[in-house]
Amino acid sequence: MTSGQKKGTFSVLLIGIILGIALWGGFNWAMELTNTEEFCISCHEMRDNPYEDLQETIHFTNRTGVRATCPDCHVPKEWIHKIVRKIQASNELYHHFIVKDVDTPEKFEAKKLELARHVWKAMKDTDSRECRNCHNFDSMDFERQETRSADRHEEAIEKGYTCIDCHKGIAHELPEGYDPGEDAPGGDEDEG
């Protein structure tokens, strides 16, 4: 290799590295923009339905003012899972722009149970991974919980339940007529 060739390849490499950093950074920056609450509620279906449900719940307003926003619960934090979820989100774009099958409150309500089931299934399959972003059984102080809660949490630890088994409806209002007791574990002990 001549000196000129060496210099050439070196500079191409350098430019390539700088460009790569810029583009990769730009890609991640753009992706993080889609990971904000403002982005999620820019679709009116989300703003008028799930976001409204959220307003009165403990994940939105509570004693300490610590909030969970849309991506905290619905977008995984680990990069690979996040990318998979982002690709799956194209389905949401499809339903918003092309099929338009949830753009009125009535249509949304009609599909609510189906949509809820998707999310519950995803959470169950990942053992409530997004809940565990913040909540941790080991860090729970059972003395500070109400007795009913402490008993159920201890039962959940023993029997290996996952958060979403019992905490359906914690953030968004349950679909009409849905009884969470049907899907809660331990329901077969004595049928009422």
Partner 1 sequence: MKKFITTAAMAVSILLLSGNSVVAKESVASLRGTQDLQGQSLKVTRKKLVSQEGGFERSYKQQPPMIPHKIDKYKINLKNNGCLKCHSKKNHKKEKAPMLGESHFLTRDGKKLDHVSSRRYFCNQCHAPQVDANPLVKNEFDGLK
Contacting positions for partner 1 (CB under 8 A): 56-58, 146-148, 169, 173-181, 184, 186-187, 189-192
Choice between 31 and 184, CB closer to partner 1: 184
Minimum CB–partner distance for residue 192 and partner 1 (Å): 4
Please, which residue, 65 or 181, has the CB nearer to partner 1? 181
- φ/ψ of 118, rounded to 5, equals -60, -45
188 to 149, 156, 182: CA distances (angstroms): 20, 15, 10
Which CB sits closer to partner 1, 96 or 175? Answer: 175
Tell me the closest approach of the beta carbon of residue 137 to partner 1, in angstroms: 20
In whole angstroms, give the CA distance from residue 83 to residue 153: 32
* Shortest Å, Cβ 174 to partner 1: 5
Question: Cβ of residue 107: shortest distance to partner 1, in angstroms?
Answer: 16
CA–CA separation, 40 vs 192, rounded Å?
A: 41
Cα atoms in the Cβ-side hemisphere of radius 13 Å centred on 24? 6
**Contact predicate 31/89, CB 8 Å:** no
**Which CB sits closer to partner 1, 115 or 174?**
174
